[in-house]
Structure 1
Amino acid sequence: MTLPTFAEFAAEARTHGFDEVLERSWAPDTELATHSHPFDARALVVQGRMWLTEGGQTRQLGPGDRFEIARDVPHDERYGPEGATYWVARRN
């Protein structure tokens, strides 16, 4: 699988109304308890592994996997032993 470049990811996100695009990197074994965000998010995992729990369902995500979370939706995040990096577009 060939991943888009960061510039390609950002350009596509902006065509869908996302106004902020950034790279997030997480340290190994980081766990974020239930929280929410005041923005819609669309992301692409580019390195490592993470587990995203939303609505009682947990998904394991790795390079090439995408996920979306609507604003104010409670979720948990857990990152693998090598940490993880994803690109995220936010609609504020």
Structure 2
Amino acid sequence: MDKFSDYPTSLTAPARDGATVTPDDVNDLTILPRALYVGQAGNLSVRLAGGQAVLFQNVPAGTLLPVRASGINAVGTTAAGIVALW
């Protein structure tokens, strides 16, 4: 039973879905996530929804990054176990 099923999904609400991400320098994610989870520590090179490229350095394992990333670059990304949440 989901007591919150009638509530709208907003950017501040907990994620309802997710998928593992394979970094790719060309192709964007199929769904624009509300956050990224990093399972194994390392650098994370992302393409943000606004068009900027950003490198998050030394992201610890277990980090939840509240960023709207259109894509995760393979070049520059050393982190693993990345999950897109929406």
Superposition TM-score tier, normalisation by shorter sequence: 0.3 to 0.5
More strand per residue: 1 or 2? 1
Which of 1 and 2 has greater Rg? 2
What TM-score, normalized to structure 2? 0.48
More helix per residue: 1 or 2? 1
What TM-score, normalized to structure 1? 0.46
